[in-house]
Structures are given as structure tokens and as C-alpha cells.
Structure 1
Amino acid sequence: MENQPKKAMTEEERAALATKLDKELDEFIANLPKRERNNEPPDENWLEEFDKHPFFMKKLPEPGEEMHPLYEGLQQLKYDPNENTPDELAISYKDDGNFNFKHKNYRMAIISYSEGLKVKCGNLEVEATLYNNRSACHFFLKNYRSCIRDCEWALKIKPEYRKAAARAATACLESRRYEDAVQFAEKLLEMKRDDEEALDVRSKALAFQKEAERDARKQKAVEKKRRKKESELLAEISKRNLIHEGGLTIDKLKPKFQELMEFPVDLVDGALFWPTVFVYPEYQFMDFVQEFNENTILMEQMKNVFEVNPEWDVAKQYSAQNLNVYYESKNKVFKVDTNKSLGEIIQSKDFVIRCGTLSFMFFPRGSKAETDFLDKY
């Protein structure tokens, strides 16, 4: 951190301050609790009392802690605008900031430097240093935008401020502002043609910039391809005259079931593959078919699903040939011809697709569960 020499106190000022401190110390000792000379153990709080006194405290009060009157008085004396010139106040705040920075208390240092800037002392060297030092705090906190802004202010005041330009270049590099990083590096090279730090930053920034531009082109191509595929998908669905609840958009085609979210309807070699739910109301259970080809016969898909008897089918009734299949639409229920392809089934004028997902209900043929279900309609 950069320091500026502070105006020395006069002999009269030193004598007055020493007298004040001596008086305060005498009063402090005189006011300590009196103890009788006996064998009683000393007051357990006496060490704590000494630790609170400015002459003996081992650490500065934390924000919000009660301050000893003498310490508070010293603070007021240090920052009293009636006792200090604006230049002295700014330097005092800068020194406090430097102390906190040295102990890596960057946020407290930022507060001190900011207070120093509020004084508006008019000393351009001090103000440039305050901005530069505050930028260093922001850099270590990874507040790169604030760091760059403070560096820019420091450079406005002091255009040849190498430290500010170097930190701004590095902060731009860290925040992927490669073009700005190159500009700050060029500014450094104007100050010193063979500046190794500037050459390194410029080289890295140009390489990263080239890589970023290449990635942007790739991303643009991917995005273009995605939009084209989405357009073709919507066109195919519309061509089949399929009915989708709420209208037909890509967002409304996104499945709501967790198991199907990664498998929205897809168009592959001219065929639609649908996320589909097989519902078994009797057992309150479901199967999820993530990619159901519209050209596949429903019965063939059922044979795959029920190739092995489900564990939950305690009555052993759920086999492909022993099931009736239904779909619900417009408060009505419709029986499905399982010998038809999925595409033929969903092209029915009564079939409504919801959230880009197909749904069918399965019952053992002639079962009580099927009868109870149909009685509701």
C-alpha cells in the first residue's frame, strides 16, 4: 500500500495531549474499586477493567462494542474536523485503512478509505492513493467491477499511476473483460515498453478473447440448430393435427413428471418419440416410458412392459393380453384399440395431449377395478 507523510504535531500539541492522557490515567486508577487489605481474593473483574483501558487494551473494540470514554475521546480528537485539516483527516483514514488491509480486514479497510475520500481534501496524491488502495481491497474480495472503477478514478487523478493500471488490467482479465484488459495493458506499455507484467496480461487477454469469440460462434451455431429443430418438431406435430392442451409451444411441451423431464417429445428421422405414462389406478402405481415411438403398436409396447409380472400385481392379472386400456379426455373416457400404433391412437379427435406427455390407464379385463372406474363416467 502507498503511504503519504502525515503532518507532524507541534511541541505544544504533544505536551497538551500528554497532559490530557496523564490526567485521564490518574482518574482511571483513582476510580478503581478500593479493596481492604485482608486475605480476600482479588476482584475477578480487575483484569477485565484494565483490558478495557486504552493504555492496556490488547485489541481494538469491535463494531458495536462499548468504547472506553478515553478511547472514544482519542478517536474524536483524531477525526475532529475542528482539530485536523482535511488533508490530515484524509491521511488518518488512509492510515487506518492500511492497518486493516495489512491484517486482511478488507471490508473495514474499504470503509476507512471511503471515509477518507468523503473528506475531499483536495490533495490529488492522497485521493489517488485512497482510490488505489480501496481498489486493492475490492480485488482481494473478488469485487472486480468495483476494483476496476476505483482504478479508473485513480488514473483520472494520476494518469501515470502504474499500480492502478496494472491492477485494473488484472481485474479485467479475472472478470473476462478481455478487450478492457488489453487496453489497460497497452497503457502500461506506454509507461514502460518492456513491462513484463503488461506483456503477460496482454498475451493472456488476447488468447482468452480469441477463445471466447470461438466459443461464442460455436454457441451461436448450436442455438441456431436448436431453434431449427424446435421449429421442425412443432411443424410435425401440427401436420398430424394433434390436439395439445393450452396451445402448441416448446415450453408447453415440457413434461411435468420428474422421471420424464429430461425426455420431452423428440423428432428422430421423421418419427415422433413421446414421453408416456402408464397408470394403474387399482394399485395407484405408474410406469414411465421415456421414448415411445409413434410407429410402435401399443400392444408391442405393453408386451415389453409386462414381460415380467410386476411385483405389485399380487393377483397376477397384469399381462399384456389381459388388459383393457383407456384414456381420459373432456370428462369422458375412451377405450383404446391396442392393435393400433401410438400415432394412430393420439390422432383421434378426442385425444388431448397435456404438457407434452401421453397418458393411458390399464385395468385387468372384466375386473371390479375396471367396472368401478367406468361407473364414474
Structure 2
Amino acid sequence: MSTSGLTEDELQDKLISEWEKLRYTPKAGEPALPPQLSDFAEKTTEDVMKELNRLPFFMTELDETDGEGGENTTLEALKSLAYDGEPHEIAGNFKNQGNDAYKTKQYKVAIEFYTKGIEVDCDDKVINAALYSNRAACNLELKNYRQCIEDCKKVLAIDEKNVKACFRTGKAFFAVNRSEEASQILQYGLSFDPENKDFKGLLETVIKKQKQIEEAKLKKERELEEKKMKQSILENSIKLRHFTIIKSSRPAEMLEDAKLRLEDPLDHESQLIFPAMLIYPSIDEFDYIAEISELSTPIEILEMILDRPREWFEDPKHKDFTVKKLECYMETQTGGLIKVGKKMAINNVLMNDKPVAPLFDNGLRLFVVPKSESAEWLSKWSKEAALAKRKQ
């Protein structure tokens, strides 16, 4: 069709005329739409897309039906073509399709093609080795490390000097922290490909990691041994002092994780350090000190605790809470009480063989009572109740 010499309006009229000639015009008794489109006239966009998806060329997801529960014959015909030929040709075809998928990073799709090729079970060792090797590469990309290793083993069973299989096995072993196996397979690969830079680089990384793991292991072992030794020294230091420790069934919350320690963990003669609870039974209050020394005296502890704002002492219930007006007591192993001299080092009390004044839950328990109220408090003390309380 020549358009030379026509104005723009004449050209537009001519194109419309040509289009009208091509337009579908129904004859008497024919449908209003062309037969190719009439089936879609009453369908939604979603329905149309479903129809198109059943055509292999337009498929975005596998649909093996004809839309009515039957078989998608077009798809089945194409699938049957994949198995047309000799076994090695079929396996090779699947390998090539897998390679195409791998190039576009569709690793899961590629695995499916390589798997189908393997399932053909052809007798061509080269093709089979390539199928396993390529599937291993996909599994490595997808971080399916154990499956990668298994595929590489299959490759090496066919071709014992397959460089790629050795390298991929090394990477997979290294990824799952099996450095020893990674080192072995990489050294094996270098035995027949000694100048391979990739092998050398990965092996160097593996060896470095092995060294770090070994150093960390040795450090942990040394720390464990040192911890055991310190614990042994601590236990022996307690025995040498004849200290008794009683564990309550339900210790005070702040004493649940209380620990004794030596000032110098490696010297059993250094001072023992432990927490202390000062209990004021006459006013139903207490104080907690995270650490005191076994050489501390009650007067030193009281002076530290009573270093308080003036307002605290203005409270009537605290009027007798001065160092001179307070008395200190410790509970004995049998549930009784002993008075503790305020200038006596705590360890002198703890080392007594009779009566035994123990530590409770690894901490010192010191009862502090004003002198004016001590007689009444002592008269109400019950050994049986004290012993029962330890079991509650």
C-alpha cells in the first residue's frame, strides 16, 4: 500500500478504511464475537488468566489439568517429548535444561532437571557425573550442604579426580564446621591439581579456622581446669577453717545465687569473702551486704550499715539503733542462739566447734536487736521453729 503524496488526514482515513476491511462482521446466525474470543466474553480477567496458564507457552505455574479435572493433554504431549530418544540423549537433555536454569539462578528448578536426568539411569558416566556435580553446585548455592556432599561423593565414585567435586565438598564441609574433613578433601584435590589457586585459598582459610578452633578449645580446657582448681582450693580452705554451711530449702531471694570466694582464689590462706544479712526482728526489717570479709567484726558492719541520713533515726522505731545500744546474735546449727561480741572477728565465731554457728546459704545471718528489747525477743525464740523454717 503506497502512502506517498497523501496528507496526514488522508492517510488517517485510509488506515481506518483498511482496518474496517479486517474487522470481524458477523453474518446471519454467527456469534457477535469471533469464535476465538466468544468463549472468553463472559469470563473475568482471573478466569482468562487461568485458561492461559493451561497453555504451556503461557504457564507461570504447573497446571496438569484441563480446567475441569481432566488431563492437560497439550502439556502431557510436551512432557512425553522429554523422554523421546536414547537414555543418554534424554539425560543429556535434562542436563542442558538444568544448565539453562542454573545460569539464570533458578537453582531449585535446575535441581529438578538434574534429578530427572539422574533418574533416567543412563550408562554414560560423563553425563551422570555432570548431573551429580551440577546438582551439587545448586545445593551449595541453596546452602543444602549435606546434600551437596552426598552428590559430590557420587561424582567422585564415578570420577575420582573430579576437581569441582573436591572443591565443592571442601566448601560444604567447611560451611558445616567440619574443618578436618574439608582439609582432607582439599589436600586430596591438590594432590592431582597442585597449582589450583582456589584450592590453595580455601585450604588456607580452613587451616586458619582449624587453628582458631583448636586454640579456643585449649583455652576452654585451661579455663575449666583453673576453675576446678580454684573450687578445690576454696572447698579445702573452708574445711581447714572448720566452717559449717547450711542450705535452706528456700533461701532468701538475694542469697539464691550467693557464693563464697577467696580474696586470692589460688591462696587458701587469703580472706574468705561472703554476703551478709542483718536481720532486725524487733522492727521486722533487714539489710543486705553483698560482700564482707571473714575478718570483719560486727561493730565494723554496724558502723557501715548505720551510716544513714538523720531522717532515718528520727523515726521512733529506730531510736535505739546506735552501735552502743545494739546487740548481735547468730543462730546455731541446733536452732539456738549465741551472742556475738561486737569486736570479735566473724571467723572466730564460725570456727567454734561448740556451739556451731554456721553460714546459711553461703552467707552470714546476723540478728541485730536493741539491748532494751533483747530479753523479750530471746524469750520468744523457739529452736523447733527455727529448725522447721530451714525446711520450709
TM-score band (shorter)?
A: 0.5 to 0.7
1:332 counterpart residue number: 335
Output the amino acid matched with 1:332: G
Deviation per CA, 1:152-185: give whole Å up to 9, x if none.
Answer: 3332232122112112223344445444333222
Cross-structure match for 1:296: 296
1:91, 1:126 within 8 Å by CA — same for their partners in 2?
Answer: no
Q: How many residues align?
A: 330
- Once the two structures are superposed, residues 239-284 of structure 1 have per-residue CA deviations (whole angstroms, 9 ceiling, x without a partner) of 223333479xxxxxxx9957884x7322224222123444567566
Return the TM-score normalized by structure 2: 0.61
Match of 2:350 in 1: 346
CA distance, structure 1, for counterparts of residue 103 and residue 128 of structure 2: 17
Percent pairwise identity: 20
Q: TM-score, normalised by structure 1?
A: 0.63
- Following the alignment from structure 2 to structure 1, what is the Cα–Cα distance between the partners of residues 235 and 256? 19
- Does the CA-based 8 Å contact 2:297-2:346 persist in structure 1? yes
- Taking only aligned residues, the RMSD between alpha carbons, in angstroms, comes to 5.0
Change (3 A) 1:48 1:169: same
Shift of 1:195: 1.0
Equivalent residue number for residue 159 of structure 2? 158
Counterpart Cα distance in 1 of 2:311 and 2:121: 80
Q: 1:56 to 1:174 in 2, by over 3 A?
A: closer
Question: Unaligned 5+ residue runs, structure 1?
Answer: 1-28, 36-41, 248-254
Distance 1:83 1:204, change over 3 A: closer
- Residue 264 (structure 1) aligned with residue 265 (structure 2): no
Say which SS state the counterpart of residue 242 (structure 1) adopts.
coil
Q: Assess if the C-alpha contact under 8 Å between 2:297 and 2:344 holds in 1.
A: yes
How many Å separate the matches in 1 of 2:91 and 2:311? 81
Aligned partner of 1:234 in structure 2 is 235
Unaligned runs of 5+ in 2: 1-35, 386-392
Contact 1:53 1:68 (C-alpha < 8 Å) held by counterparts:
no
Q: Report matched runs for 1:51-70 at 5 Å.
A: 52-55=53-56, 59-60=60-61
Find the counterpart in structure 2 of residue 38 from structure 1. Answer: none
Instruction: Report the AA paired with residue 295 of structure 1.
Output: L
CA contact (8 A) 1:298 1:340 kept: yes
Distance in 2, Cα, partners of 1:153 & 1:213: 31
CA distance in 1, matches of 2:131, 2:278: 69
SS of the residue corresponding to residue 273 of structure 2 reads strand
Cα distance in 2, alignment partners of residues 229 and 172 from structure 1: 39
